[in-house]
Amino acid sequence: MMTVSSIANGSRRRRLVAKSEREPEVEMNSKLQPVVLHLPHDSTVIPPEYRDQFMLSIEQLAAELVTMTDSHTAAIFSGITSDRLTVRCPVSRLLVDVERFADDAQEIMVARGMGVVYTQTSAGQRLRRTLRPGERDSLLERFYEPHHRRLTQAVSAALQESGTVLLLDAHSFPSRPLTYELVQDRARPDICIGTDNFHTPTAVADTFMAAFADAGFSVALNRPFAGAIVPMEFYRTNPAVHSVMVEVNRALYMNEKTGERLPCFDEVAVRVRACCVRGSTPGRKPALPRC
């Protein structure tokens, strides 16, 4: 999840502000608009050479990974587009958050110890030792910068092939606000749709909202998180680049203490994917699974 509206070293980012039968999978209609799927916070990987940076015990780090990871979003949104147009960060946001400003001076979450390289946990405790000279730059060069290049390349490829593209920024969020979050409203929807004033056409926002509502989800626009990521190469200059954020409430599909999938996981994932297909094709109304 993101917390501010800003430009992150190449990408415009977002800001904070029981069913009886399984439904069949819904396939993407690739003839209408290609979709680039962005998965920035799904990974739990911290390569062993970086473990010494973290001051938490094995058990504490495992718990923080469950708290901060957008767990299972790669599985929930799988099949919406091709692997070629899927951009997933390979490492945990605890190591490097690819949706933060690279420049700490521009990043509001630095005040909470959660800039591009986190120093504090979700509860405000110390996460990391003081980095040695060069370690921060090395992290950005190895993980942050290549991620944004891959995202820009995927959007460029889709544009070259079809002349238009929808960037779907896929996330999940906890059912109750975490201590570090700037907005502490405890009333949270099942689904949050985030938009950008330039890159999210009204028809796209309306169709995504209607798709999830029609499928039986409670849905909110730009609440509790807002905005949608766009590579800087296209930001506010190319209206053919559309972008939307879809955030799924974790209570719908997982045990938020253990990270384990609930028995209803597959059914929820099918419903979310069907809604995303409908949202990506305004005017098209495939049958949507309901609760």
Q: Is residue 160 part of a domain?
A: yes
The pLDDT score that the predictor gives to residue 181 is 81
Instruction: Please indicate, yes or no, if residue 153 is contained in any of the structural domains.
Output: yes
CA distance 218 to 101: 31
pLDDT for residue 289: 52
pLDDT of residue 101: 85
CATH number at residue 240: 3.40.630.40
pLDDT on residue 14: 42
State both tokens at 204: 């796209």
Distances (CA, A) of 121 to 3, 111, 164, 220, 272: 15, 12, 39, 27, 30
In this predicted structure, what is the pLDDT of residue 284?
Answer: 54
Give all strands of the β-sheet with 165-173 in edge-to-edge order: 86-88, 35-39, 165-173, 241-249, 191-194, 219-221
Tell me if 206 is assigned to some domain: yes
Measured distance CA(106)–CA(94) in Å, rounded? 19
- Its pTM stands at 0.88
Q: What span, in angstroms and rounded, lies between the C-alpha atoms of 237 and 77?
A: 28
From first to last of its 291 residues, what are the pLDDT tens digits of the chain?
333 233 334 444 444 332 223 333 334 444 568 999 999 999 999 999 999 999 999 999 999 999 999 999 999 999 999 999 999 999 999 999 999 989 999 888 999 999 999 999 999 999 999 999 999 999 999 999 999 999 999 999 999 999 999 999 999 999 999 988 876 888 999 999 999 999 999 999 999 999 999 999 999 999 998 899 999 899 999 999 999 999 999 999 999 999 999 999 999 999 999 999 999 986 655 445 554
Q: What is the pLDDT of residue 266?
A: 98
In a domain, 287, yes or no: no
269, part of any domain:
yes
Spatial CA neighbour of 15 closest among 272, 245, 176: 245
Calpha distance 138→208 (Å, rounded):
39
Q: Is residue 139 part of a domain?
A: no
Q: Are 164 and 96 in contact (CB under 8 A)?
A: no
Residue 104: inside a domain: no
Task: Determine the pLDDT at residue 214.
Answer: 97
Cβ neighbors of 31 (< 8 A, separation 6 or more) are none
> Using an 8 Å Cβ cutoff, are 30 and 164 in contact?
no
Please state the domain count of the chain. Answer: 1
Domain that holds residue 18: 7-44+72-92+145-279
Is 59 within the bounds of a domain? Answer: no
Strands 15-16 and 225-226: what pairing? Answer: antiparallel
